[in-house]
Amino acid sequence: MRWTLLPKPEASKVSELSSALGVDLTIASLLIQRGIDTYEAARKFFRPSLEDLHDPYLMKDMDMAVARIEKAISEGENILVFGDYDVDGTTSVALLSSFLKSYYPNVATYIPDRYEEGYGVSYQGIDFAEDNGFSLIIALDCGVKAIDKVSYAKEKGIDFIICDHHRPGDELPEAIAVLDPKRSDCDYPYKELCGCGVGFKLVQALAGNRGQTLEDLLLYLDLVATAIGADIVPITGENRVLAHYGLKVINSNPRTGFKAILQQVKKEKLTITDVVFIIAPRINAAGRMKHGNHAVTLLTETDMDLAARFAAEIEQFNIDRKETDKSITKEALEQIKANDEEDRHTTVVYNANWHKGVIGIVASRLTETYYRPTLVFTESGEKLAASARSVKGFDVYEALEQCSEHIEQFGGHKYAAGLTLLKEDYEKFKLQFERVVAETINPKLLVPEVKVDAALDFDMINPKFYRILKQFAPFGPGNMSPVFMAENLWDSGYGKCVGEEGAHLKLGVHQGSGPVYGAIGFGLGDKKDLACSSKPFKAVFNLDENTWQGKTSIQLRLRDIKS
């Protein structure tokens, strides 16, 4: 692992902010590294306010979207709320459909089948709309590239409103409105909303027409916060405000479906990380293993007994998903070794029988193992489908664009994408992808990097310091949990490996004659000899809390150790 110590901000600026806020120099330095260099910026950072959310009408086409929905309602049209089968899509559908149904009954939902229809707007979904008398489809978290499908709907007399956050192509679909802050002609001030965030802006605009305020919409923000965490969008600007208030809702008055999930896992106060690792995988498991409709049903259910039953079903889907992804990951690692492909710049693996619903997770696992751009393929009807994952700093979407002659269809982001291709093009694509990555990637990016915010001596760690640090949350891209480095550390003598096959490292760590702090290093079991050798070592770590037998203490969450 490469340790990169971030540059120290200018000392005079740090000193000035430290005085203005009444915080120590390290806290002031961490704030400036995040672009927070004035009292006012710090106030907005530490005290997110609904007033900091932008006017939804700043988004291109918002006025047309609202006008078309109001027309549909006034004329008694049937509205179909359509969304993708992942967390962002299903939360978006639950959000908009439950808001519309609160005052208009002719609303139904549609989630495409991952296996029968694939990602995004589908011809089957449009046919369903025609067969059931829907004249307006609102597509969420998808649709910005669905040019042919929107034209197909138009021929049938069905209008489209698109709420998306993916990069548009050169041409936009002929929809009534295309809400996407990443449109080149959209001046919306914040570009990093997730699909559910764009859906919320539409709800905000519609609510304004009905005399409702943002306070009236707080109950929907548990869905938005979950989508923000799951879709790994930056937790800055508007997303920080939405995530902050959404977490408050999750922890104080969550919707019935969330309550049912949380009863099963027996977790109380959730952070955004808990949302990502507890709630999101369960919602995702429905679309991966069965159908995304199960997730929407749970998220919109208001009867606790029914919600508990739906949550139990989804829990089983999640258990099945874990078992499936574990076995496929094992097979994929064996395939890489058998084909002698451990020294390549890319990982591309394929098995016709792998479960399409978990290949994205497997791609992430393989990226963790070999740390290089990764694609996992399986069979999908007459074609092959793949999930792509990348390493920090490398744009896999751009790499796929350079292989487009061998690809049928693709879409996604810098670090995650999906694609389909013809079986006969697989080997040609695999060679081209390896060639493109080998020619364009900086070799440094193939070694995992941990960016260190600051050096930290243990005598600087105290309850006040940690209390302020906690207020940096919610953490995520653009505002990661601060990483510290400390040198001249010693194990207290009780260091040991814990967990399955001793995968994790548990230590008591002190620096000189100071106090001993508990430390846990997940996946660092192989560093035990280095840490427990009666010699000093250095470490990079985050600070968090550990509660044991009713007592809570500050602990080090180790990221790496070196001699």
Instruction: Say if 322 falls within a structural domain.
Output: no
What's the per-residue H, E or C state across 336-359?
HHHCCCCCCCCEEEECCCCCHHHH
Look up the pTM and report it.
0.90
Who contacts 425 (Cβ-Cβ below 8 Å, separation ≥6)? 406, 407
284 and 350, same domain (yes or no): no
CA 339 to the chain's CA centroid: 32
107 and 158, same domain (yes or no): yes
Dist CA 82 CA 115 (whole Å): 17
The first and second tokens of residue 499, run together, are 């967990």
CATH number of the domain residue 345 falls in: 3.10.310.30
Q: At residue 442, what are phi and psi to the nearest 5 degrees?
A: -75, 125
Q: Which secondary structure element, helix H or strand E, spans residue 538, and what is its range?
A: strand 537-548
* Local mean pLDDT, 10-residue blocks, the chain (563 residues): 94 96 95 95 95 97 98 98 94 98 97 86 97 98 95 97 93 97 96 97 97 96 96 93 97 94 84 92 90 93 95 93 95 94 93 93 94 95 93 94 93 86 96 97 94 95 93 93 96 90 93 91 94 93 88 94 94
pLDDT at residue 163, as a whole number: 98
pLDDT at residue 44, as a whole number: 94
Q: Evaluate the omega torsion of the peptide bond into residue 474 and state whether it is cis, within 30 degrees of 0.
A: yes
Whether 379 and 352 have beta carbons less than 8 Å apart is answered as: yes
pLDDT at residue 409, as a whole number: 87
Chosen domain end from 446, 474, 508: 446
How many structural domains is the chain composed of?
Answer: 3
440 and 460, same domain (yes or no): no
- Nearest Cα neighbor of 133 from 168, 115, 106 is 106
Whether 318 and 294 have beta carbons less than 8 Å apart is answered as: no
Q: How many residues does this entry show for the chain?
A: 563
- Per-residue DSSP letters for 58-105? GSTTHHHHHHHHHHHHHTT-EEEEEE-SSHHHHHHHHHHHHHHHTT-S
253 and 307, same domain (yes or no): yes
Cβ-based burial of 39 (10 A; exposed 0-12, middle 13-18, buried ≥19): exposed
249 and 379, same domain (yes or no): no
User: Cα angle at 116 between 115 and 119, to 5 degrees?
Assistant: 65
3-state secondary structure of 32: helix
Range of the domain at 349: 339-446
Whether 390 and 371 have beta carbons less than 8 Å apart is answered as: no
Instruction: Say if 27 falls within a structural domain.
Output: no
364 and 477, same domain (yes or no): no
226 and 353, same domain (yes or no): no
pLDDT at residue 255, as a whole number: 95
Chosen domain end from 446, 461, 494: 446
Cβ atoms within 10 Å, residue 275: 24
Whether 91 and 299 have beta carbons less than 8 Å apart is answered as: yes
CATH number of the domain residue 211 falls in: 3.90.1640.30
Q: What is the DSSP letter of 455?
A: E
The first and second tokens of residue 45, run together, are 């950072």
Whether 260 and 298 have beta carbons less than 8 Å apart is answered as: yes
440 and 456, same domain (yes or no): no
Dist CA 409 CA 418 (whole Å): 8
Instruction: Say if 105 falls within a structural domain.
Output: yes
345-368 pLDDT, tens digit each: 999 999 999 999 899 999 999 999
Tabulate helix, strand, coil % of the chain (nearest 5): 45, 20, 35
3-state secondary structure of 450: strand
376 and 501, same domain (yes or no): no
- Nearest Cα neighbor of 130 from 109, 111, 156 is 156
Dist CA 224 CA 97 (whole Å): 14
Place of tokens 């199960």: 294
Instruction: Say if 228 falls within a structural domain.
Output: yes
144 and 269, same domain (yes or no): yes
306 and 348, same domain (yes or no): no
139-162 pLDDT, tens digit each: 999 999 999 999 999 999 999 999
175 and 263, same domain (yes or no): yes
3-state secondary structure of 405: helix
Instruction: Say if 272 falls within a structural domain.
Output: yes
Dist CA 395 CA 496 (whole Å): 39
Cβ atoms within 10 Å, residue 234: 18
Dist CA 34 CA 28 (whole Å): 10
Q: Which residues of 402-423 are buried (b: 16+ CB within 10 A; e: fewer)?
A: ebeebbeebbbbebbbbbbbee
Whether 385 and 378 have beta carbons less than 8 Å apart is answered as: yes
Chosen domain end from 295, 313, 331: 313
Instruction: Say if 28 falls within a structural domain.
Output: no
pLDDT at residue 542, as a whole number: 97
Dist CA 425 CA 419 (whole Å): 13
CATH number of the domain residue 522 falls in: 2.40.50.460
